[in-house]
Structure 1
């Protein structure tokens, strides 16, 4: 017995919106970090590197959602959990020690600069990814 529901595709239905949002966030975070690193890396290297890491995580989740299948589902779940942990850690860090971040990251203040989508998106994605998993019989 597999963990996959018959006919369930991660990139279909509401999954399409997740693919689109993760794609947009990949481009936004990557563009932001590349421009900031090229223009003024010395100003806030930690913030710029964290935005680049966010872009890589977003890209991998986008790829996993498009690819589909049990292995991609597991990889996306792990990445979404890591993303959520990152948003919570960086969000708390930016509030507790704002001087460490002279410029914002994608995850600063729990994604406030992006309408809190960075904290909502991984939770929504994990619910969607779990939707396709059925419990194994005892």
Structure 2
């Protein structure tokens, strides 16, 4: 693949997915920065989780952009899988143990403050990865031989 041809994952739905991840990365980074800088002592757990979510969204965005290689594809799986587990665990804990989340994080109540995008996004991300695995590298000039030929 040359740089003059866009990656197949950077067109259509793939492009929208990357844009949504980038927006979430910016939103979570901004939120966590303000929370930690201004009032970290009020809710260190929630604000640290917001920062963790920001890192996950940044890594997921980069991994989706570069997921044409096997390494970035695996990084995307790890980041988006972690995101899914995080939003489910934090969402559940924020409902069952609300005293831990007096101040909301990005993933509190399954991303209620972000229109539940944090809950839905990893499912789309994982679907995209399943539907668009990286192309395997082929050695120029190599040919497949069939036994008995």
| Structure-1-length-normalised TM-score | 0.87
Larger radius of gyration: 2
SS at 1:105 equivalent: coil
Matched, 1:93 2:89: no
Alpha-carbon separation, structure 2, partners of 1:107 and 1:99: 15
Deviation at 1:71, TM superposition (A): 2.0
Give the root-mean-square deviation of aligned CA atoms.
1.5
Stretches of structure 1 that go unaligned for 5 or more consecutive residues are 1-6
Aligned equivalent of 1:26? 25
Q: Which runs of 5+ in 2 are unaligned?
A: 1-5, 135-149
Q: Distance in 1 between matches of 2:79 and 2:10?
A: 16
Tell which has more relative contact order, 1 or 2 (C-alpha 8 A, sep 6+). 1
What count of residue pairs does the alignment treat as equivalent?
128
Cα offset for 1:116?
0.7
d(CA) in 2 for partners of 1:126 and 1:68? 12
Q: Higher helix share goes to which structure? A: 1
TM-score, normalised by the number of residues in structure 2: 0.81
1:10 match: secondary structure: helix
Superposed CA deviations along residues 31-76 of structure 1, whole A, max 9, x for unmatched, are 0011011111111111000000000000001001111322212210
Q: Report what 1:45 is aligned to.
A: 44
Alignment map for 1:5-20 (pairs within 5 Å): 9-20=8-19
